[in-house]
Amino acid sequence: MDREAAVHQQRRLASIRREWLLGFGLLTSVVFLTSGQSIFALLSNAVWLFIIFAWLFSVVLGCALSVVRHADHLAERLGEPYGTLILTLAITSIEVMAITAVMRHGENNPTLVRDTLFAVVMIILNGMVGLSLLIGGWRRNDQHHNLQGANAYLGVIVPLATLSMIMPNFTHSASGPPYSSVQQTVLAFISVGLYTVFLILQTGRHRDFFIDDAGEVHARDAEWEEGGLIFPVVLLVAYMALVVFLVEELAAPIDYFIETLHAPAALGGLIMAILVATPEAISAVRASVANHLQRSVNIFLGSVLSTIGLTVPAMLAISHMTGHPVVLGLERTDTVMLILTLALSIITFASGRTHLMQGAVHLVLFVAYFLLIFET
């Protein structure tokens, strides 16, 4: 018994040591809480601007990665599709908090929600999908996923993306091109309604659509087997609390970079999207390398769906409460890129099998999106 107790204690101590970022995040929060004004006074110096941005960005990203890590522990215990659902909802919460923080800082940026939404779609459906399929296709001839599950995702993503980012340019309220308040309210109810119906399908009678036909097996972390679900849940909430506070501080250098240095406004959305998409990109690529393509599909298509179905309504509601206007319609080149990406995604997932070439094409579109930020 003494030996078993000692082994258990060693595992627990090793688990605690792995959470060193929690302590560093708390320390960073205390520093900016007590000396934030003095630190942000240094933003006019280019070197300090870079240091402050890199410091905050790396800590926020690290905390977001830790959120995903603990969400993955819960996913392993709960199984699909509930595990992926926890992951996507956690990341969507981070996205809403990050956008809200930047919106409240400095001058109002009415296109931030649109730019972030579009950047998330481009990063996930082109960058993340392309990298996952390219690496997975390089290691094996082709990979398989559940066709019905992918069709269910895309069947909701395509209309919601069109209504959120394309249709606003073709409807005119009394004051101009953006959706009117009534139209925004209808869009919010449609988005939440369709996402709710999808969740009923995903967790109910058609749960098998989102599970690999061969059955996915994920190795569980022995360190958490005896500890139950409480420890991962507590740590997940703690890291999310750090993200909430630190992303508010990160908004200051982002606003200074865009408003004072006149960088492309779309860069703000790209930075927010990187914070949101990077943790899930890592999980998706790992799953694809391990030949669990269905889990990759659940992650990247689920991320896009939750971003459109939940983030858009949440930001529209916050816009009404804070008085910050939101512009959803994309510019002409971005509209073409979105239509092309959606069409390519439908083709990619139309057969239930993927290969190397599909990943390469998605990555080409991602490079084109990145270059167009600086050319338009």
- What's the pTM? 0.80
| Poorest-pLDDT segment among 25-39, 51-65, 108-122, 185-199 | 108-122
> Binning pLDDT at 50, 70 and 90, where does residue 364 land?
very high
d(CA 199, CA 51): 42
Contact in structure between 110 and 327 (CB atoms under 8 Å): yes
pLDDT in tens, 276-287: 777 777 777 777
Span 78-89, pLDDT tens digits: 665 666 677 667
Instruction: List C-alpha distances in Å: 227 to 9, 106, 222.
Output: 12, 44, 10
DSSP 190-205: HHHHHHHHHHHHHHTT
The dihedral built from the CA positions of residue 331, 335, 338 and 340, taken in this order, carries a sign that is negative
**What pLDDT digit, counting tens, does each position of 283-324 carry?**
777 777 777 777 788 888 888 888 888 888 888 888 888 777
Lowest mean pLDDT among 12-26, 218-232, 264-278, 336-350: 218-232
Q: Residue 6: its pLDDT value, please?
A: 54
What pLDDT, on the 0 to 100 scale, is given for residue 223? 46
Rounded-to-integer distance, Cα 162 and Cα 335, Å: 9
Residue in 320, 318, 299 with CA at minimum distance from that of residue 310: 318
Q: In CATH, what number does 2-375 get?
A: 1.20.1420.30
CB-based contact 99:112 (threshold 8 Å) = yes
